[in-house]
């Protein structure tokens, strides 16, 4: 049996995802970013154990509800301006990992409107319970 934590995730978990969730956010360290909102694209992957999230009765109560991810993001955005995508990602990933069913999270944010010559600039973080500091 493998003890590599990444292999265990693949063998024992299902991957839930929220892709290209676009939100208007007050974010940025530059003066031109203060006091305005800009589009921020969130991509979130949650790794949850198959053993405890495989529905037997086809009921939402048996799985991790995607609404929890959207609500968590909305609550953080409502708190106000954040300077850095890194700060926002770190705060959100810590809260996502606090969910009892979540073993690991991959989260990225992307500002699509910063530079005209690229699709976006962003940050991605991957953390597992009990592995990352």
pLDDT tens profile 28-53? 999 989 999 999 999 999 999 998 88
Residues 88 and 28: their CA atoms lie apart, in Å, by: 11
pLDDT of residue 49: 92
Beta bridge partners, 41, equal: 22, 110
Q: Which CATH number does the domain housing residue 68 bear? A: 3.30.1130.10
85 sits in which H/E element: helix 85-97
CA 9 vs. chain centroid, Å, equals: 17
Strand boundaries in 1-133, DSSP class E: 13-25, 38-49, 104-111, 121-128
Indicate the pairing of strand 38-49 with strand 13-25: antiparallel
Residues 6+ apart with CB under 8 A from 119: 110, 112
Q: Which domain holds residue 89?
A: 5-128
- In this prediction the pTM is 0.90
The pair phi, psi for residue 64, each rounded to 5°, is -85, 120
For residue 106, how many other CB atoms are within 10 A of its CB? 18
Q: Is 67 a domain residue?
A: yes
Q: Is 24 a domain residue?
A: yes
CA atoms lying within 13 Å on the CB side of residue 52: 8
Q: Is 133 a domain residue?
A: no
Q: Which range is least confidently modeled, 52-56, 87-91, 93-97, 123-127?
A: 52-56
pLDDT classification of 2: cutoffs 50, 70, 90: low
């Amino acid at each position: 049996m493998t003890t590599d934590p990444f292999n265990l995730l693949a063998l024992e978990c299902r991957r839930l995802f929220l892709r290209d969730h676009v939100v208007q956010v007050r974010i940025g360290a530059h003066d031109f970013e203060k006091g305005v909102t800009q589009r921020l694209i969130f991509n979130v992957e949650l790794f949850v154990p198959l053993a405890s999230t495989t529905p037997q009765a086809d009921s939402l109560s048996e799985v991790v509800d995607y609404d929890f991810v959207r609500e968590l993001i909305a609550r953080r955005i409502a708190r106000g301006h954040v300077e850095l995508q890194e700060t926002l990602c770190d705060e959100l990933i810590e809260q996502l990992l606090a969910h009892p069913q979540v073993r690991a999270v991959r989260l990225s944010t992307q500002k699509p409107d910063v530079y005209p010559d690229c699709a976006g600039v962003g940050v991605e973080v991957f953390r597992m319970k009990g592995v990352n500091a």
